[in-house]
Amino acid sequence: MTAAPSTLADIPGLIRVENTSPEQLAAHCAEMTREAYPHQQVYGRYCTIEEYVDCPPAQVYDYLRQGHHLEEWTCSLRGFAPAQTPGLWVGRDLLEENTSIYCKVVASPDAMTVDYHCAWDQGEQLWMIYLMRVVPAQLVLDKPGSLITWTNCRHPYYEANPYPDRAPRPGRRWVGEYWDLFYAGHTLEMRNLKAILEHRHGSGRPVSVLPSTAVTQ
């Protein structure tokens, strides 16, 4: 079905072949293309990273959906245990002393998406959401294995702690102060994830080895 032109003609700013020649479109895209981009322009509001992993998609998804594996591949999340709310788990973020992190896993086997809904200090409002997707590499790269994408959005609460009374101590550094390091930090963690999955799969071992008694969807 093609949209009727009248439904689009009154919307300002659209660039389509109906109002822009292919030459103009190419020139416009060239103007938008740079050899280098400021960090804030690329990662200021959203932080997306991606990685190829030589491990079957089903195994990668199964590993990620079992959220207790965060203790293996993240740099600082440790010690998850059940919280009082069903499906909610609490662990420690060792980036900051005595800091609790709450986590719930929301996963979809059909789409192979795994979203970690998290928050520091409290588990009532899980606003730090880590969006991950596993894509069969055969579809997009024409080779076996998996493509993993991981996106974070800069929620307003990164700017200021919405629950300062829950902090373990005055002056504790807030998670949002690390935002400019999210790309680098998450890249390190993605490399950890790749190394673990490829090492275990490549040696014929199960990729999931931790007891499945923690954060699992």
Model pLDDT for residues 74-90, shown as the tens digit of each residue = 999 999 999 999 999 99
pTM of the model: 0.91
pLDDT digits (tens, 9 = 90+) for 39-50: 999 999 999 999
Maximum distance among all alpha carbons in the chain? 61
pLDDT at 79: 96
Q: In what order do the strands lie in the sheet with 146-153?
A: 46-53, 146-153, 128-136, 113-120, 100-108, 89-93, 77-82
Do the beta carbons of residue 63 and residue 112 sit within 8 Å? no
Give pLDDT, residue 8: 85
**Mean predicted confidence (pLDDT) in 175-200:** 97
List the domain boundaries for the chain: 39-202
CATH 3.30.530.20 fits 39-202, yes or no: yes
